[in-house]
Amino acid sequence: MSARLPWVWDYDLNEADFEDLLQGRKTLGRLDRDWAASRLLDYAPWSEIRRRMSLSTLVEDWPRWRSRVRSLTRRRGIDFLVAWLPENHGELL
């Protein structure tokens, strides 16, 4: 059985279920890709965000997820990143 992830402490989800949600391969009631992405962006460390999500996905889908991220500092940081990356390091996308 896969391990439980710290950023979904309040849900009965294992790592495989979370990854399926994040990749859009699964929906569990109201839990879907957007829920998984916003949960990851709000609570996971940057190293985990980068391991589970490409920069191009983050830049492309950020406008849809932004309002769901509770942390103001995370929103500001990602706002900066998604504006800065295409202008300065488009090759990473």
Distance CA(16)–CA(89), nearest Å, equals 32
How high is the pLDDT of residue 2? 57
Which one, of 49, 43, 47, 59, lies nearest residue 22 by Cα?
49
Measured from the Cβ of residue 82, the count of other Cβ atoms closer than 10 Å reads: 18
pLDDT per position as a tens digit, 27-77: 999 999 999 999 999 999 999 999 999 999 999 999 999 999 999 999 999
pTM (2 decimals)?
0.89
Residue 78, H or E segment: helix 72-88
Residues in the chain: 93
3-state secondary structure of 19: helix
